[in-house]
Structures are given as C-alpha cells and as structure tokens.
C-alpha cells in the first residue's frame, strides 16, 4: 500500500512556538506508520523553515534545530504540490499529499499558512483561510456570534488610540461592569497577554500591556462560572465529543495553568446534567457552523454558577495535541484513540 505523505508543520514565529512543538511530536508519534509517512516541517522563532529528519523526541526541547535539517518551504506552485528542499547548490522536491497543521497562534492559526497551502493546492487539516482568521481575532468572532444570537459575556474593545483618553475607558467599563474584569489581546492564543484586573486603577496599564501583543484589546465582564470545553469533528455535519471541565487552582486558566504540571486538570466527562450538556453541545454546533469551521475545533464555554447560563467563550480552530490537551482526551473518552482521531481529521481534510 502506498503511504500518504504528510507534512507536519509546526513551530512558528509567535508566542506559542513551544506548545506547537509538543503538539507536533505527539501527532507524528501517533500517525499510523503503515498508512502515513511524516515529514516534519518546522518554522523557527526567527521564521526560518527547516525540514527535519532526526529523532522526533527532540522536537519538545527545541534541539531539533541543531542537526538533521535542511532549509525548506512549501512551494506555492500548485502544479508541484511539494516541499522545496535546499541541499547545497541544488533544490530537491518532496511531493506532499496533505499538510497536518500543528501550528498555534499568529502566522499559523490565523489563515496565513492556510492561504499558502491554498495557493499550493495542498489539502490541509482544520479550518479554511477566512474561518481561521476570523476565529483567531476574538473581536470579529464575537461580532459573528452576536449576529447569530449565541450568548456571550459582555465585552468592549479598545485600541492604542483609546489610551489617549484613559478616563473615558474607565468610565465606559465602570458604567457597564463591576470588577474584576478580564483584559486580553484580541488575536493571541493560550491566554498569553491575558490578565484579571481587580481594581479600576489597574485597568489602563493592563490594556497597555495587552496592546504589546496585538492592536486590539478586549475587556470582558467577569463570569463566575465553570469552564467547559467541547470537541468538534466534521465538515457539514459536525459531531461533538464528551465535554471536559477545566479544574484549576489558579484564579483563572492562564498560560501557566494550561501547561505547567499539577496546577490544572480536565474532568471528562464534565459533571453537569444531561440537559445542560445537550445545551452546550447544541450551542457548540451552532457556533461551529456560524463561522464555517471544517475538520475539527474546540469550542469553549462558561456555565455561570448562579444563573446556569451557558456562555460561549471562544473557538480554537487548531486545538492542542500536547500531553495535557483536552481535545484528544475528550475523544479518547468516546473510544476514539489518538491515532484514530488523527485519521478522522486527515479524512475530513481530504474530503474538502
């Protein structure tokens, strides 16, 4: 049987580089070796593209960059459908059947790499260009969810220009919300740059810090709620996974809580009523379809403790595949192994 050649693209010139490397390692290790031949294509923090042929375990530490690499990149020529590899004074090509995207954050999850792969005529996993860009930008995504009557926490958006009048920012937020509030960059993942603000005097500085990551910043009302995640698989008729509840010892689920050992865990299935679980799943499908998701995604919610309202938080279009990532764990609880999950995702990508 001829193996499918898969470019597993990872790394990236962004703040989630290390997380992407861990996802890539697990993806490559769990691909069915009888069906697929993996070509690890890494992007360094400096934006250099390298084809790697060494020990996959070295991806986690970053040592992979030091040896067994050649400069390489996806050719945008749709007639080639290949990785162009520079070896000394000549260029070799590696034909590719599909790209599995293990990138997170900017320049990977935001439609940029998806656009390149569209030009190259190479099928790729996950959402398309527009959906990827839309979901990466929380402000634009929230606007689409609002039009589709999907319940969310209240929010404001501020830019650098707004900081010229901090009193107006404070008034606007204080008139609508009580403290604490959450401040987060619009288009950054893994809670990077996000802060809980407990007093109005801390707000403008928190916004200023968040603007170092992006040119738009969200200020959201605080929801005293349980954090629930729903995995999605499919194209036109998506299906939902068992739900996961995030349990953390921190004030909120920030970067450290997501990836450091011993701080957080996922309860799967989430200990909520059948009726509430069905409500979450229906809203997850509605949100997934509203923004045009394809292949797979993770949809995150709050269930407010006092009112039991279900509120959409965000959609992650390239869910993590690290050892701590909820997405594969939710599907494993459904009886779908890591390897089988990857096969499903690949099949949806080939389906188009």
> How confident is the prediction along the chain (352 residues), in pLDDT tens digits per residue?
799 999 999 999 888 899 999 999 999 999 999 999 999 999 999 999 999 999 999 999 889 999 999 999 999 999 999 999 999 899 999 999 999 999 998 889 999 999 999 999 999 999 999 999 999 999 999 999 999 999 999 999 999 999 999 999 999 999 999 999 999 998 876 567 789 999 988 999 999 999 998 899 999 999 999 999 999 999 999 999 999 999 875 455 444 444 445 557 889 999 999 999 999 999 999 999 999 999 999 999 999 999 999 999 999 999 999 988 999 999 999 999 999 999 999 999 999 7
Which is nearest to 103 in space by CA: 231, 196, 34, 7?
A: 7
Residue 285's alpha-carbon distances to 102, 167, 230, 241, 272, in angstroms, are: 23, 40, 10, 11, 18
Strand partners, 239: 233
How far apart CA 240 and CA 350 sit, in angstroms, is 20
Q: What is the DSSP string of 251-263?
A: SS--HHHHHSTTT
Q: What is the largest CA-CA distance in the chain?
A: 67
The SS3 of residue 247 is: strand
Could you give the CA distance from residue 151 to residue 136 in angstroms, rounded to a whole number?
Answer: 19
Domains of the chain: 4-124 (3.40.50.20), 134-151+224-351 (3.30.470.20), 155-221 (3.30.1490.20)
DSSP 3-state percent helix, strand, coil across the chain (nearest 5): 35, 30, 40
Helix (H, G, I), strand (E, B) or coil at 125: coil
Which pTM value belongs to this model? Answer: 0.91
In this structure, are strands 181-185 and 155-158 parallel, antiparallel, or unpaired?
A: unpaired
Q: Which two tokens stand for residue 270?
A: 């989430």
Whether the Cβ atoms of residue 72 and residue 44 lie closer than 8 Å to each other? no
Instruction: State which H helix or E strand residue 279 sits in.
Output: helix 274-290
């Amino acid at each position: 049987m001829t193996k499918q050649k898969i470019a597993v693209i990872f790394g990236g010139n962004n703040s989630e580089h290390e997380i992407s490397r861990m996802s890539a390692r697990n993806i490559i290790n769990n691909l069915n070796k009888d069906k697929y031949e993996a070509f690890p294509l890494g992007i360094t923090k400096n934006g250099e593209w390298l084809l790697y042929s060494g020990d996959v375990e070295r991806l986690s530490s970053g040592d992979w960059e030091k040896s067994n690499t050649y400069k390489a990149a996806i050719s945008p020529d749709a007639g080639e459908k290949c990785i162009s590899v520079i070896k000394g004074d000549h260029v070799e090509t590696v034909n590719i059947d599909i790209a599995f995207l293990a990138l997170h954050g900017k320049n990977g999850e935001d439609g940029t790499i998806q656009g390149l792969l569209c030009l190259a005529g190479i099928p790729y996993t996950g959402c398309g260009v527009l959906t990827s860009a839309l979901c990466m930008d929380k402000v634009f995504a929230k606007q689409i969810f609002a039009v589709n009557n999907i319940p969310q926490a209240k929010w404001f958006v501020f830019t650098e220009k707004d900081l010229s009048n901090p009193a107006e920012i404070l008034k606007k937020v204080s008139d609508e919300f009580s403290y604490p509030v959450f401040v987060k960059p619009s288009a950054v993942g893994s809670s990077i740059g996000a802060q809980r603000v407990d007093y109005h005097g801390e707000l403008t500085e928190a916004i200023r810090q968040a603007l170092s990551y992006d040119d738009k910043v969200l200020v959201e009302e605080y929801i005293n709620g349980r954090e629930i995640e729903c995995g999605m698989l499919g194209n036109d008729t998506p299906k939902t996974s068992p739900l996961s509840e995030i349990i953390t010892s921190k004030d909120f689920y920030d970067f450290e809580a997501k990836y450091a050992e011993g701080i957080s865990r996922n309860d799967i299935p989430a200990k909520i009523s059948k009726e509430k679980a069905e409500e979450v799943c229906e809203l997850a499908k509605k949100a997934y379809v509203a923004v045009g998701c394809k292949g797979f995604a993770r949809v995150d919610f709050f269930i407010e403790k006092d009112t039991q309202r279900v509120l959409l938080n965000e959609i992650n279009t390239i869910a993590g595949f690290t050892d701590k990532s909820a997405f594969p764990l939710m599907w494993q609880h459904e009886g779908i192994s890591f390897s089988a999950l990857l096969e499903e995702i690949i099949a949806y990508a080939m389906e188009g």
